[in-house]
Amino acid sequence: MVLALKYRPKRFEEIIGQDAIVKTLTNSLDKNRLAHAYLFSGLRGAGKTTTARIFAKALQCENGPTSNPCEKCENCVMANENRHIDIIEMDAASNRKIEDIRELIEHTKYKPSVGKYKIFIIDEVHMLTNEAFNALLKTLEEPPEYVKFIMATTDPLKLPATILSRVQHFRFNKIKNSIIENYLIKILAIENVEFDEEALRLIIKSAKGSVRDSLTLLDQAIAFSKGRIDLDSVVEMLGVINPEIINEIFEAVKSGDKKRIKEIIEEIKDYDIESIIDEVIIYLKDALFEGSLPLITVQRFFNIVADVKELIKYNTDNEFVLTLMFFRMTEAMKPHKIDDLIKSFEKKIDIETYKPQKEPKILKKTPEDMFKELIVKIKEKDIDLGVCFETSVKFISFENGVLTWESCPDEMCKEQFKRYFSPVIRPLINEIFGIGTKIEPIRCEKKNEMLEVKKTEKRESSILQDKSEEVINKVREIFGSDVKIEKIVHK
């Protein structure tokens, strides 16, 4: 037996999620303030027919009308077995003509045979033809006192106003997922079936507030999954998109990973686009309530979804719509990214200001300045060594990590250099010009420093006289392009 029939409530207290309706009906039974005609409208599988039958039994019970029928008397037993002679169920979908209603009206003329009332339950009442409605009107307004009508419909808007104004109307709501969940968990415990919560939630979500649909899907899932109801089998059975995929795609959106977004779209593009968008909306609602996305982002995303929903109307292909939606969301994340960037810049600047400013200074310095600094630092370590260095070593160039100098030390300085080059001078060169700086010393030919200088100048003047482009370029390469070659004085 299918679950929906096996677990069809027999008593008011077993009806779930329709508390207000149950309360009003039980009160009216207990106070004996009954209407002639009732209309139960609302979602399919939310308890209309079930409630109508329980209400009919509650009227017919020997102790009735009572909200607490005895379940033992002949009336209760027959009602529970759906064979009470004075409870007449009619399906208006297949008996919609005026003749059908005329027959029904004939019935109302005979008193109940065993029960207190003659009760007509007319299901799908909106299916009746206009003539049938008109034929029903008079009886509905002034039925014999032993007659009760309970009409049910999923579509009350299709009923003529003349009917609506003659009935007491109860609107059956969608039932909350959490209420259905608790209900199904109880049933699964009785049925001794194991399940994963996610799988159950997915079933309930697909049933969209209908208890019957939830139970029907649960039946299928039990048959489908053999043993334990798990998410994978339910996903497969329902042909729905796995909610985990939606989480994944939003992770990709958050990290701006368009490649991953495309991969996921490739996986899901064959699903019904509307159901994908439903999932997206559910994700965004959760994110909003959980605070896992900033309000402004959720708002932007909802706007994007609304735009995309428009597109679907034009029959655009799914892949395009999905790509557009998720790429736009990725773009919509960007303002936050820019904020992050600004923050990271601020951090960098912070680090810069607190750092010893060696490197940036060096960068701005000319090689000549660096050479002067080297002299100063050597002097700081050892004044004699520094003076030797200053008087006998002349800076030539510093290019591509090669420091070229000309050195003409006297014997004493030569001695100093030998001893202190490695422990003092080399580390300072590393510090100022960079580790790995190569040193290219040009040997001094003359002992006399002054002579040497003169010679250099002569050499420069001859270069000038030569005026060969090539040589000038070479000079510029060494001394820098703004070197003023014309101003060199010949001695």
Min dist. Cβ of residue 124 to Mg ion (A): 8
Binding site partner of 47, from ligand ATP, Mg ion, Zn ion, none, Cβ cut-off 5-8 A by kind: ligand ATP
Asked if 396 contacts 406 with a C-beta cutoff of 8 angstroms, the reply is: yes
128-157 residues near ligand ATP, rule: CB under 6 A: 152, 154
- Give 222's contacts (C-beta < 8 A, 6+ positions apart): 191, 193, 229
* Min CB(52)–ligand ATP separation in Å: 8
Q: Does 204 bind ligand ATP (CB under 6 A)?
A: no
Question: Do 159 and 125 form a contact (C-beta atoms < 8 A)?
Answer: yes
Closest CA to 147 of 196, 88, 212, 218: 88
Angle at 68 between CA 67 and CA 73, to 5 degrees: 120
Q: How far apart are CA 422 and CA 438, in angstroms?
A: 13
Amino acid 453 reads V
Cα–Cα distance between 205 and 279 in angstroms, integer? Answer: 10
Residue 409 binds: one of Mg ion, Zn ion, ligand ATP, none (C-beta under 5 to 8 A by kind): none
Residue where the block lists tokens 């309000």:
295
Q: Comparing C-alpha atoms, which of 411, 31, 49 is closest to residue 212?
A: 49
CA distances from 360 to 234, 398, 432 (A): 63, 18, 12
β-strand pairing of 393-399 with 402-407: antiparallel
Comparison of 100 and 213: residue with beta carbon closer to ligand ATP: 213
Pick the closer one to ligand ATP by CB: 15 or 37. Answer: 15
| CA-based nearest residue to 466, from 480, 442, 485, 444 | 485
- If binding is defined by CB under 5 A, does position 393 make contact with Zn ion? no
Among residues 82 and 422, whose Cβ is nearest to ligand ATP?
82
Query: Is residue 73 a contact residue for Zn ion (CB under 5 A)?
Result: yes
By CB under 5 A, is residue 87 in contact with Zn ion? no
Ramachandran category for residue 272: left, alpha or beta (phi over 0 → left; psi -120 to 50 → alpha): beta
State the minimum distance, in angstroms, from the CB of residue 276 to ligand ATP: 27
The CA-atom distances, in angstroms, between 23 and each of 17, 166, 172, 259 are 11, 22, 13, 56
* Residue 325 lies near ligand ATP (rule: CB under 6 A): no
Of 89 and 319, the one with the shorter C-beta distance to ligand ATP is 89
Shorter beta-carbon distance to ligand ATP: residue 186 or 446: 186
246 close to 286: Cβ distance less than 8 angstroms = no
Question: Minimum distance between the CB of residue 10 and ligand ATP, rounded to whole angstroms?
Answer: 10
Per-residue binder mask for ligand ATP (CB under 6 A), 101-130, x = binder: ------------------------------
Encoding tokens for residue 335?
Answer: 């303002």
Taking the complex as a whole, the smallest distance from the CB of residue 88 to ligand ATP amounts, in Å, to: 16
Minimum separation from the CB atom of position 59 to Mg ion (A) = 18
Contact residues: Mg ion, CB under 5 A: 48-49
Residue 76 or 217: which CB sits closer to Zn ion? Answer: 76
70 touches Zn ion (CB under 5 A): yes
In degrees and rounded to multiples of 5, residue 437 shows phi and psi of -60, 130
Read off the amino acid at residue 483. Answer: V
- Minimum separation from the CB atom of position 172 to ligand ATP (A): 6
Q: Is 115 in the site for Zn ion (CB under 5 A)?
A: no
Kindly provide the residue ranges of all beta strands, DSSP E only, lying in 44-107, ordered along the sequence.
Answer: 87-91
Q: CA 134 to CA 121: how far, in whole Å?
A: 18
Task: Give the span between the Cα atoms of 409 and 45, in whole angstroms.
Answer: 106
Give the three-class secondary structure for 101: helix
Please identify, among the stretches 8-16, 264-272, 286-294, 438-446, the one whose residues bind ligand ATP according to the rule CB under 6 A.
8-16
Q: 271 is written with which tokens?
A: 């699903």
49 near ligand ATP, judged by CB under 6 A:
yes
Residue from 26, 41, 50, 139 that binds ligand ATP (CB under 6 A)?
A: 50
Whichever of 147 and 184 has its CB closer to ligand ATP, that residue is 184
- Tell whether residue 215 is a contact of ligand ATP (CB under 6 A): yes
Under the binding rule (CB under 5 A), the answer on residue 428 touching Zn ion is: no
The least distance separating ligand ATP from the CB of residue 275, rounded to whole angstroms, comes to 22
Binding flag, residue 212, ligand ATP (CB under 6 A): yes
Is 15 an interacting residue with respect to ligand ATP (CB under 6 A)?
yes
Name residue, tokens 């002299």. Answer: 375
179 counts as binding Zn ion under rule CB under 5 A = no
List residues near Zn ion by CB under 5 A.
61-62, 69-70, 73, 76
List residues near ligand ATP by CB under 6 A.
4-5, 7-9, 15-18, 44-50, 152, 154, 211-212, 215
